[in-house]
Amino acid sequence: MATAMSMPKRSLWQFGTREIVYSAIGAALYGVLSWVFNNIQIPGTQLVSVRPPVAIPFFMGIVFGPLVGLFTGGIGNVLGDLLSGYGFFWAWDVGNGLMGLIAGLVPALMGKDEKNYVWGAIAAVVASFVGMAFPALIADPFIDRTAEFGAALAGTYPAVSITNAINGAILTPILLYAWNAYRSRSGR
């Protein structure tokens, strides 16, 4: 559903100066807001926090492209973990980057734009489950060997995926709505 206010069509994989700036802004925002929420842990989980800021990489991927979502999620998660004092967990940083990348791909591959809020919510849910599968079900059990596969499948993976999906499904459409309202008022 394209409108006269839609941004000009660009390559899905474009990554120039504009995208670098958006990636830096998104990563900084995601990192700082993650730091704020990282101390609110979900009871019964290991380092799984309430994560409203996860909507930022989803939003950035949908609006500015999958590569912006990738860098916003990956670098932003590194910043959030370092600010929180957790250290560096490469697989989870990659997983957060994958969430932003996938969120940017879902609407693009389905021919939807950033004005379609339902597809924004769907993209966030799909990205949550696919993106978090890498660290929880592949990297931790089989590469880093820091978790048993069964425990990750029954505990960490559903906890983090569902938390991200709920936050993303609710907050991503709100961010998209605010972005579109801003663009409409500013004539962009």
Which pLDDT belongs to residue 88? 85
Domains and CATH numbers, the chain: 17-186 (1.10.1760.20)
Q: How far apart are CA 132 and CA 118, in angstroms?
A: 21
Query: Between helices 55-64 and 17-37, what is the axis angle to 10°?
Result: 170
pLDDT digit string, tens, across residues 114-158: 778 999 999 999 999 999 999 999 999 999 998 899 999 998 899
Phi, psi at 47, each rounded to 5°: 60, 30
Percent of the chain exceeding pLDDT 90 equals 69
Which pLDDT belongs to residue 1? 40
Query: In this predicted model, which residue has the larger pLDDT, 129 or 2?
Result: 129
Q: Band the pLDDT of 10: cuts 50, 70, 90.
A: low
Q: What is the mean pLDDT of residues 9-25?
A: 90
Phi, psi at 49, each rounded to 5°: -105, 165
Q: How far apart are CA 78 and CA 94, in angstroms?
A: 9
Prediction pTM value: 0.89
Q: How far apart are CA 79 and CA 77, in angstroms?
A: 5
Residue type for position 56: I
Q: What is the mean pLDDT of residues 25-39?
A: 94
Contact by Cβ (8 Å): 77, 97: yes
Q: Is pLDDT at 40 greater than 90 in this prediction?
A: no
Separation of CA 56 from chain center: 6
Token look-up 């979900």 returns 42
Q: Band the pLDDT of 108: cuts 50, 70, 90.
A: confident
Which pLDDT belongs to residue 3? 41
Q: Is pLDDT at 110 greater than 60 in this prediction?
A: yes
Our CA angle for 64, 68, 70, nearest 5°, is 135
